[in-house]
Amino acid sequence: MTELKGINIGLFDYDRHNALYFFILNGDEEIYLRYGGRDSVSPDSYLSLDSLELALQRGLELHDQWKEGNGPAWEAPEPFYPEQMPLLQEKEVSRGRCVECHMIGDYQAAQLELDGNLDKAKLMFPSPDLKKLGIELDVPKGLLVDAVSGMAEAAGLQPGDTIAGFEEHKVYTFGDLQHRFGKHARDATSARLVVDRPGSDEPIELTMQLEPLWWVTDIDYRYWSVDPQAYFGDEPLSAERKAELELPEDALACKVTSVNPRAAIVESHALQVGDEIVAVGGETRHGGLGSCGLYIKINVKSGETVTLDVLRAGEKISMPLKTHRQYYRKNK
């Protein structure tokens, strides 16, 4: 099988920008666990043969329990098929094209945008970064906590704990945990973890107080899925550089690290590598979105033009940047 047409993507719901993703389930299509997940650094940061073996063993244990009538609780999600997505149907399925997994994510966002229902906060950041939440895992050992900081440390999570639950859900793998974080409400102020701790006979419940924008991650690796297109890469200016420029710590200030050749083709902008952007559309504070590219993705609509304040060779210049929408999101 080489494509997703005819597959119940409502059941097999995951971040389609994973290079590999696994499910273990039974013949009644009850999913026991998932294996996969990623961060912005690499598609395989959380993949290892050891943790895969652990997941397989756990899946078999859960299956044995299910056969004995003691399987985990299961509530089937609403079935949903790629063919039910109008834009995908029109642009790909009806033309006999292969529907690849990443296209599901792309067209889900495109369809929602078309319908005026795109929740960028949830759709564009489906894989929260556990390290940002203060959770460092011993990856080969599944959900064994290796180190803690920030929000997780404040909640009482400790190295040596094994995360076993998120809210009301049991979790068995990193994929399970990241998926649950991904589904958590973006305006939530807390999240409940259940952990197994050496020396404790009972599971321990912890409540993490979530900081604003806890779900924001670098989304460069999924940039094709995220409109508008601005055709440049950037990184936030260092604290030292901001101080040199007498900018506040939370200044929206970035250095251009790459320019997509398409910028010239579509006459999007005239940025150059090394340029420093110090305002986007008059906004000078990043509001938690570190990079200028990310700020544009979240705050600018496709097709809009914004004015950039740019420092180049000691001169401050104003420059228009026209954003673009990808071809398959056009029409209708």
Q: Is 192 in the site for another protein (CB under 8 A)?
A: no
Q: Is 223 in the site for another protein (CB under 8 A)?
A: no
Q: Is 23 in the site for another protein (CB under 8 A)?
A: yes
CB neighbours of residue 29 within 10 Å: 13
Nearer to another protein, 17 or 269 (CB): 17
Among 80, 102, 150, 211, binds another protein (CB under 8 A): 102
Residues 183, 234, 246: CA angle, nearest 5 degrees: 110
SS (H, E, C) 157-181: CCCCCEEEEECCEECCCHHHHHHHH
Window 62-91: contact mask with another protein (x via CB under 8 A): -x---x------------------------
Give least dist CB 210 to another protein, A.
29
Buried-state track 277-304, b at ≥16 Cβ within 10 A, e below 16: bbbbbeeeebeebbbbbbbbbbbbeeee
Count residues near another protein (CB under 8 A): 33
Nearer to another protein, 183 or 285 (CB): 183
Nearer to another protein, 32 or 215 (CB): 32
SS (H, E, C) 234-293: EEECCHHHHHHCCCCCCECCEEEEEECCHHHHCCCCCCCCCCEEEEECCECECCCCCCHH
Q: Is 170 in the site for another protein (CB under 8 A)?
A: no
Helix (H) or strand (E) holding 105: helix 101-115
Site for another protein in 34-63 (CB under 8 A): 43, 56, 59-60, 63
Among 50, 77, 86, 100, binds another protein (CB under 8 A): 100
Residues contributing to the site for another protein (CB under 8 A): 1-4, 7, 12, 14, 16-29, 32, 43, 56, 59-60, 63, 67, 98, 100-102, 221
